[in-house]
């Protein structure tokens, strides 16, 4: 196992206002991890920095051992980092199938890359809607498509930003089941979200972020044994 994504002492923000005051995070290959925090913890800012949309003021971001601060968004994506963004951001003027095939690549050079049929098998619903345009889908279907679209690039690391935001409990459960399947298939991923018991159950390692700082990190077992931790940081 080697580190896929390493963030060291990241500080950044917008104009004069600093948002991140020192975030540390490490995601290992083959691992399912989370970055948990309340609203306003700075996760959108963190993602912008990781994807090269916002320069880092201090600290370093490394992906596959290479420093990526300063690289362009598309270069970072092509290295094998994929995102399921908040709000899904499905391309409305592409059909479901086009949203998937347009970005097909084998970026992690795996032997059994995700292909269109695999995505349809993972989400049979998408196959039924293959010909529909991206803007004709329900929220749950959009979420499935966003996950499928990111998987089609066969990334080393998949980042999910608020994977279940605004979805019904049934769809939520379905997404968590899919995450469990991804883990089985050996796909590394990082979920950035609020605290959910079910989410913690299907993942291995966790980092808590509060007010722009990473404040705790550890594995699922430790976290489940210490309820005071998530009560303190997550307010649940």
Partner 1 sequence: MGYLIIEQMLNGLQYGLMLFLLAAGLTLVFGIMDLINLAHGSLYMIGAFLAATFFQMLGSFFPALLLAIVATAFIGFILERLLYRKLQTMSHLSQVLATFALILIANESIKIIFGAQPLMISMPSGLSRAIEIVPDELYYPAYRLLIIGVGFAVAIGLYLLVNKTRTGMWMRAGASNREMAAVMGVRIKPLFTLVFVLGAALCALAGALLGPLLAVTIGMGESILIPAFQVIVIGGIGSMRGALIGSLLVGMIDTVGKLLLVLGLGFITDPTNAGTLGSTLASLSISVLMVAVLYFRPQGLFPARG
Q: How far is the CB of 58 from partner 1 (least distance, A)?
A: 24
Provide the token pair at 43. 């996760």
Q: Which of 107, 127, 108 is nearest to 116 (CA)?
A: 127
> Between residues 66 and 74, which has the closer beta carbon with respect to partner 1?
74
Chain center to CA of 170: 21
Provide the token pair at 154. 């066969």
Interaction with partner 1 in 192-231: which residues (CB under 8 A)?
Answer: none
Rounded-to-integer distance, Cα 174 and Cα 179, Å: 9
Q: Provide the 3-class DSSP secondary structure of residue 80.
A: helix
Q: How far is the CB of 26 from partner 1 (least distance, A)?
A: 22
Give Cα separations from 112 to 146, 154, 187, 220 (angstroms).
21, 10, 11, 29
> Between residues 3 and 101, which has the closer beta carbon with respect to partner 1?
101
92 is a site residue for partner 1 (CB under 8 A): yes
Among 58, 72, 138, 222, binds partner 1 (CB under 8 A): 72
Rounded-to-integer distance, Cα 80 and Cα 54, Å: 19
> Between residues 92 and 227, which has the closer beta carbon with respect to partner 1?
92
Q: How far is the CB of 218 from partner 1 (least distance, A)?
A: 30
Among 53, 168, 222, 226, binds partner 1 (CB under 8 A): 53
130 is a site residue for partner 1 (CB under 8 A): no
């Amino acid at each position: 196992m080697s580190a896929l994504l390493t963030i060291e002492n990241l500080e950044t923000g917008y104009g004069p206002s600093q948002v991140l005051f020192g975030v540390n995070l490490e995601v290992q290959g083959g691992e399912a991890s989370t970055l948990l925090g309340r609203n306003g913890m700075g996760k959108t800012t963190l993602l912008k920095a990781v994807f090269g949309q916002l320069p880092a003021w201090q600290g370093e971001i490394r992906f596959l051992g290479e420093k990526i601060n300063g690289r362009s968004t598309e270069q970072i994506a092509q290295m094998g980092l994929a995102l399921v963004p908040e709000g899904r951001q499905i391309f409305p003027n592409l059909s479901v199938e086009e949203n998937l095939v347009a970005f097909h690549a084998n970026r992690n050079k795996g032997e059994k890359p995700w292909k269109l049929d695999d995505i349809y098998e993972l989400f049979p619903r998408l196959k039924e809607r293959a010909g529909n345009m991206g803007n004709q889908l329900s929220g749950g279907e959009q979420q499935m498509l966003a996950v499928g679209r990111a998987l089609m690039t066969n990334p080393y690391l998949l980042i999910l930003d608020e994977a279940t935001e605004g979805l019904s409990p049934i769809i939520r459960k379905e997404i968590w089941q899919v995450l469990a399947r991804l883990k089985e298939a050996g796909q590394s991923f990082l979920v950035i979200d609020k605290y959910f018991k079910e989410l913690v159950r299907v993942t291995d390692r966790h980092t808590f972020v509060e007010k722009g700082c990473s404040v705790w990190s550890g594995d699922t077992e430790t976290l489940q044994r210490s309820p005071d931790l998530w009560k303190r940081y997550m307010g649940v």
